[in-house]
């Protein structure tokens, strides 16, 4: 079993997760992003299944909506909901500010 902050490629150990993530840049040829291979992450199977459903445009992944607490409007992405929430605070988003310039 690997130590909590051990590199899955070379086995080197680190004092913190941040150090390990920085070290992973020294392994650019690895076939995954992050410090831990996807197959070793908890919940990997469900994450992979959700991704396939999302790509296929069917199933639960497509039905997930992000709902505004203020006006109950639904959005397909969390980013879209975040941009919409700014309108409730009379704030202009980056896109609106860029158009003014």
Average pLDDT, the chain: 75
Confidence of residue 51 (pLDDT cuts 50, 70, 90): confident
Q: Which residues of 63-99 are buried (b: 16+ CB within 10 A; e: fewer)?
A: eeeeeeeeeeeebeeeeebeebbeeeeeeeeeeeeee
- Residue 42 above 50 pLDDT? yes
- Residue 12 above 80 pLDDT? yes
d(CA 80, CA 74): 9
* Residue 62: per-residue pLDDT: 47
Distances (CA, A) of 2 to 54, 67, 86: 33, 41, 44
* Residue 92: per-residue pLDDT: 62
């Amino acid at each position: 079993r690997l130590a909590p902050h051990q590199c899955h490629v070379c086995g080197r150990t680190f004092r913190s997760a941040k150090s390990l993530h920085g070290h992973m840049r020294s392994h650019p040829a690895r076939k995954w992003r992050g410090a831990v291979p996807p197959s070793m992450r908890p919940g990997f199977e469900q994450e992979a299944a959700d991704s396939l459903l999302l790509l296929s445009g069917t199933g639960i992944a497509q039905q997930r909506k992000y709902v505004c607490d203020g006006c109950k409007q639904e959005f397909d992405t969390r980013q879209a909901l975040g941009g919409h929430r700014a309108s409730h605070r009379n704030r202009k988003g980056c896109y609106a500010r860029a158009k003014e310039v």
